[in-house]
């Protein structure tokens, strides 16, 4: 079993819809990362959080440490949000372990 | 501009011919790391470095070497590349470790024939 599991693997939405991507992990962690990878391949860091909730524009990330679960929400989705969203955790030492990613497609 | 620079961006080469992928960051970050990304497997960590002369294995270190002689540079060396090392490679850096925001390079697409 992977240390980090994401769901769904693929998600198609209509413009304007509310999107939720989930991440569950099996190890104790000090922080959790949400990353975005656009079709061109580049990866950018969206959030790093260790408790509670963070918001940046239309993106919201939450984490529940007790349940070992995090969610990434996108409000009022737009075609430019189409990308792969990746969850990552440091499982111990200074390593980093990634989920397989969620391919999001937002249609106009 | 703060950035992580990888070179080359694309490389097609043959089995057994030694190659080096360079990675440089201009943010004075202590932590640097290499990842490979493969379809169906996602991103996997190859090696990481906590500081100059301090390196450690990630999840998939076999067939790779790294060095950290200067803080800004963290090259990835494939001494005898094989076709199963065909992949998309990313370098990343952060201020102090894997529990800090990560800054990624643009990626290097390697094809080993």
Residue B82: predicted pLDDT: 97
A83 touching chain B per CB within 8 A: no
Which residue of chain A has the CA closest to B102? A45
Query: Is the pLDDT score of B75 beyond 90?
Result: yes
Segment B4-24, tens digit of pLDDT: 999 999 999 999 999 999 999
pLDDT digits (tens, 9 = 90+) for B86-109: 999 999 999 999 989 999 999 999
In this structure, the dihedral spanned by the alpha carbons of residues B12, B13, B15 and B18, taken in order and rounded to 10 degrees, is -130
Residue of A nearest to B37 (CA): A100
Point out the least confidently predicted range of A29-43, A94-108, B26-40.
A29-43
Residue that has been written with the tokens 């943010």 in this structure: B27
Cβ B90 vs Cβ B112: under 8 Å: no
Q: In what order do the strands lie in the sheet with A4-7?
A: A4-7, A19-25, A69-74, A59-64, A52-56
Q: Residue for token digits 């939720």? A: A20
pLDDT of residue B102: 94
Cβ <8 Å between A94 and B56: yes
Both tokens of residue B8?
């080359």
Indicate if the pLDDT at residue A1 is higher than 70. Answer: no
Average pLDDT over residues B74-81: 97
In eight-state DSSP terms, residue A58 is T
């Amino acid at each position: 079993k992977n240390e980090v599991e994401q769901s769904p693997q693929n998600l198609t939405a209509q413009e304007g819809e509310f999107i939720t991507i989930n991440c569950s992990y099996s190890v104790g962690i000090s922080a959790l990362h949400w990353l975005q990878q656009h079709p061109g391949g580049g990866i950018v860091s969206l959030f790093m959080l260790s408790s509670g909730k963070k918001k940046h524009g239309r993106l919201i990330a939450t984490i529940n440490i007790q349940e070992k679960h995090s969610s990434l929400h996108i409000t009022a989705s737009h075609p430019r949000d189409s990308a792969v969203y990746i969850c990552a955790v440091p499982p111990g030492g200074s390593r980093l372990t990634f989920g397989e990613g969620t391919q999001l497609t937002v249609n106009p | 501009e703060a950035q992580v620079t990888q070179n080359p961006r694309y490389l097609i080469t043959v089995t057994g011919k030694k190659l080096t992928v360079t990675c440089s960051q201009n943010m004075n970050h202590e932590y640097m790391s290499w990842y490979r990304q493969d379809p169906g497997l996602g991103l996997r960590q190859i090696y990481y470095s906590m500081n100059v002369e301090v390196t450690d294995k990630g999840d998939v270190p076999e067939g790779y070497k790294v060095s950290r002689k200067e803080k800004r540079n963290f090259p990835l060396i494939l001494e005898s590349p094989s076709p199963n090392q065909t992949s998309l490679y990313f370098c990343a850096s952060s201020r102090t470790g894997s529990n800090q925001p990560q800054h990624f390079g643009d990626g290097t697409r390697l094809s080993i024939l």
